[in-house]
Amino acid sequence: MKCKLSGLLLLVGLLMPVVAQADSTVNPAWEFTDNGFGYAFPDNSWLTSEVFSANQNITVNYLGYYVQVFGLRDSHQVGLYDSNGDLLASTTITNTSTPDAQEHFLYNEITPVSLVAGQTYVIEGITGTIDSITGPENSLSGFTVYAPITRLYAWDGIGSSLTFTGTDGDIPFNGHDGTIPQYGTYGPDFGYEEQPPSTPEPSSFLLLGSGLLGLAGLIKRKLTA
């Protein structure tokens, strides 16, 4: 009886889904191969924004901010809004935050936020008056959008705190058409994960097969006992 019970417990363990290990790698929404020389605003702090729509359901798990080669000397607020102006997540990036592979942005992990396909969102960042930001006029090259999103437009304006800027395209400052990839003033960024597929992964099939083999063995031993 003890042998059968042990076998059943083993089977249950084999059939249980695998809990994936947390992946601490930041997948940036956008990046570039050459971050240019950057420029700062010593007279005023500015608020820079990227307005975009999600092409599929994704999860935002990091918020980030641009960092020049010498690092950050100031802290920078970053916020993510929905189209109603509700703040979904925010953080403050410092020089101790986590870099991505290219080391052009620093990130803080946040409580995951789900973005819905077809909905519009705004990510904003505060420049401060010390650290640089970058853009196409700074010899920016190799710009790539990795996240499944459509950039609608970008803009910047004077501001020292997060303020929802709107999503209707009627912008009062230096607006840029986001359909032209190199346009934008890059301060804020985010890290994302695509939502997992609904079909089982190969490892799940392997576990299921192992469980079925174990069950067959138990049945065979019971019949021959």
Q: In order along the chain (225 residues), what is the average pLDDT of each group of 10 residues?
A: 45 39 72 74 86 95 89 94 96 94 91 97 93 69 86 82 78 45 72 74 51 56 59
* 3-state percent breakdown (helix, strand, coil) of the chain, nearest 5: 20, 35, 45
Look-up of token digits 């042998």: 3
| C-alpha span between 217 and 191 (Å, rounded) | 46
Domain boundaries, the chain: 30-194
Task: Report the pLDDT value the prediction gives residue 153, as an integer from 0 to 100.
Answer: 79
Residue (of 110, 56, 58) closest to 87 by Cα position: 110
Local structure of 185: helix, strand or coil:
coil
Report the amino acid identity of residue 203. S
| C-alpha span between 131 and 202 (Å, rounded) | 46
* Cβ neighbours around 208 below 10 Å, total: 14
Task: Report the pLDDT value the prediction gives residue 13, as an integer from 0 to 100.
Answer: 45
Task: Report the pLDDT value the prediction gives residue 224, as an integer from 0 to 100.
Answer: 62
Range 30-194 classified under CATH 2.60.120: yes
Local structure of 88: helix, strand or coil:
strand
Beta-bridged to residue 49, according to DSSP, are 124, 155
**Angle, CA 121 vertex, CA 42 and CA 63 arms, to 5°:** 55
| C-alpha span between 53 and 116 (Å, rounded) | 9
Task: Report the pLDDT value the prediction gives residue 15, as an integer from 0 to 100.
Answer: 39
Task: Report the pLDDT value the prediction gives residue 12, as an integer from 0 to 100.
Answer: 41
To 10 degrees, the CA torsion angle through 9, 11, 17, 19?
50
Task: Report the pLDDT value the prediction gives residue 27, as an integer from 0 to 100.
Answer: 93
Task: Report the pLDDT value the prediction gives residue 25, as an integer from 0 to 100.
Answer: 83
Task: Report the pLDDT value the prediction gives residue 158, as an integer from 0 to 100.
Answer: 85
